[in-house]
Amino acid sequence: MLELAAVQGVSVPTPDTQDSPLAIRGLTVSYGQKPAVFSVDMTVQPGAMTAIIGPNGAGKSTLLKAALGIVPMVSGQVTVYGKPLTEQRARVAYVPQRASVDWDFPTRVIDVVLMGLSRQLGLLGRIRARHMQRAADCLRQVGMQDFADRQIGQLSGGQQQRVFLARALAQDADLYLLDEPFAGVDAATEKAIITVLKSLKDAGKTVVVVHHDLATVTDYFDHVYLINTRKVAEGPVAQAFTAESLQAAYGGRLATAQIDQISHALG
Amino acid sequence: MNGEEFVPLSLTPLLIGTFAAIACALPGNFLVLRKQALIGDAISHVVLPGIVVAFLLTGAISTWPMMLGAAGAAVVAVVMIEAIRRLGQIETGAAMGVVFTTMFAAGVLLLEQTDTSSVHLDVEHALYGNLESLIWLDATGWSSLTDPQALAGLPPELPRIALTLAGVVLFTWLLWRPLKISTFDEGFARTIGIRTGALGMALVIAAAIAAVAAFDAVGSIIVIAMFICPPSAARMMTNRLEMQVGWSVLFAAFSAISGYVLAGYGPLWLGGTDAVSAAGMIATMSGLLLAVAARFGPCRTRAGAPVSG
């Protein structure tokens, strides 16, 4: 039965997906004729920080969005801690790309963070002092406590990114999925975000980040997932983040000098 | 003005105009922020042939057949847009433009070809409504408000639009949080379990119901203006959605009342003899409010693209 399923390309849940915070099997997503993500598997390690890397248009963000049900999948199976996502929403926090929302929206920084508490508040639950306290606390963790009453459009890109992270913190999840949190942010923000992510990891949470900067992969992450429409490599940084796998993922798009530099960094 | 004159002649049109304006402005806030403001425009154009056909079939202006006709017309419009887009290989916006104008023209043509002299349904009323004619002849003064016999003679448009407004208010109040979150950040909204597709559809349906009910009473000009002008003007008064919705209700009510009064008395004050269309004047007032807010509103500057770094 299992063999038959494998031959036909059908995924069958396996014991190793039971413990994984996010297990993806045979995921295919297509926006048109050409698939953006084709038949990929992913098994996120609990308590680890994983980087999803790959060239532009490789399907990094699409992989996350499909796993979260934001874009429809053609085929595939996703489990979160061994169960379907719909049963586990409270355990997952998602930070979208900053450019995906309209920052002119009439709302304040603190209101955005409070959105992270909406599952807890329900449809009509009143925002009480303890909710405000919690939101303010999350803003403090990302160093944005002085901006609570600002309109969100008045922030710099890095500050907006930190507000998005504070909203995810307010969700108090076990699995954090971030889409390009370091894209176009200042050095202070990058440092603030990585500090928060590492403290999440220290608290036993699982963090998955769509990442574009190959130079910081070894510093920031302990697991890596390389994708170029298809899965290229997956595993601990030392084993999967190699010149060969990068060459396979990026093809001719990565200059030889870059590969040398990374190989050097890897020792 | 004393009650004997005001209550029968002006109170009901004022209330109907105000309720219609607010019922459209409330969903208009979300439509404007979702950059779907023209949906109100589209709805009010598309439903016309549906309402006319419903009238031709039933021979009377009654709410349910008209609502069904309007809904049917909306479905036809969606199918036509999709068909034109595929067969013509053109973008959705162009297909929508063709369908809306064609359907509205077809509605006007149908109206002109049919004998509707016995009821208030003709081209002029479709555009301007018949606000001035929605008078309460059974009323004799303020005391009529507590007189069951006089209340029975209220124009049926008033309870109809009041009920619609109540529905729209309830919709906005109940779904405030999901509406706000999904309008700001749809991807995030989906991850916390909000069914954004169904919610977006519900918003459009709420807007359509408001449009049809308002259309019935005040014509399509007010509908189009009220979906867009009060929310847009309100956006420039504040940076908070809660306040914006409050301002939009205020602006909608102000437009309706000042527009109605100016239409009735403005020409006389200027030495003219005839009143002008109340619907046209209400829409004009909302446009003026928008212009003033765009010039003097405290929050009219946009942050634009976020600064990197």
Give the pLDDT score at A255: 63
Report how many Cβ contacts below 8 Å link chain A to chain B. Answer: 100
Residue B278, pLDDT > 80, answer yes
A 114-173 → B contacts, CB under 8 A: 115, 118-119, 121, 123-124, 151, 153-158, 160, 167, 171
CB-based contact A89 B180, cutoff 8 Å: no
Specify burial of residue B35 (Cβ count, 10 A radius: 0-12, 13-18, 19+).
exposed
Q: Does A184 touch chain B (CB under 8 A)?
A: yes
Give the start-to-end residue ranges of the domains of chain A: 2-249
More confident residue, B33 or B130: B33
Are B145 and B151 in contact by the 8 Å Cβ rule? The answer is yes
User: What is the average per-residue pLDDT within B52-59?
Assistant: 82
Per-residue pLDDT at B253: 97
Measured over the CA atoms of residue B64, residue B28, residue B242 and residue B305, the dihedral's sign is: positive
Q: Quick check: A263 pLDDT over 80? A: no
Q: What is the pLDDT of residue A5?
A: 45
Q: Give B-chain residues touching A65 at CB under 8 angstroms.
A: 187
Residues B169-185, mean pLDDT to the nearest whole number: 96
Contact criterion met (CB < 8 Å) for B191 and A167 = no
Read off the pLDDT of residues A168-195 as tens digits, 9 standing for 90 and up: 999 999 999 999 999 989 999 999 999 9
Record: contact A157-B306, CB cut-off 8 A: yes
Segment B259-286 mean pLDDT: 85
Q: How confident is the model at residue B10 (pLDDT cuts 50, 70, 90)?
A: confident
Residue type, B35: K
Selecting from A86, A112, A154 the residue whose C-beta is nearest the C-beta of B303 gives A154
Q: What is the mean pLDDT of residues B284-292?
A: 94
Strands A23-30 and A35-43: antiparallel
The answer to whether ipTM exceeds 0.95 is no
Residue type, A107: T
Task: Return the half-sphere exposure (C-beta side, CA atoms, 13 A cut-off) of residue A177.
Answer: 26
H helix intervals, A204-252: 217-220, 237-240, 243-250
Residue B100 to residue B108: CA distance in whole angstroms: 12
Question: For residue range A230-239, what is the model confidence (pLDDT) as tens digits?
Answer: 999 999 999 9
Whether A153 contacts A101, CB under 8 Å: no
Domains of chain B with bracketed CATH: 3-296 (1.10.3470.10)
Please state, rounded to an integer, the average pLDDT across all residues of chain B.
Answer: 85
Residues of A in contact with B187 (CB under 8 A): 65, 68, 70, 94, 96, 100
Q: What is the pLDDT of residue A258?
A: 67
A1 has a pLDDT exceeding 50:
no
CA distance A56 to A183: 13
User: Can you say how many angstroms the Cα of residue A19 is from the centroid of all Cα atoms in its chain?
Assistant: 19
**Architecture of the A2-249 domain:** 3-Layer(aba) Sandwich (3.40)
pLDDT of residue A3: 47
CB contact under 8 A, A105 and B241: yes
Instruction: Specify the pTM.
Output: 0.86
Question: Which range is least confidently modeled, A86-95, B117-126, B129-138?
Answer: B117-126
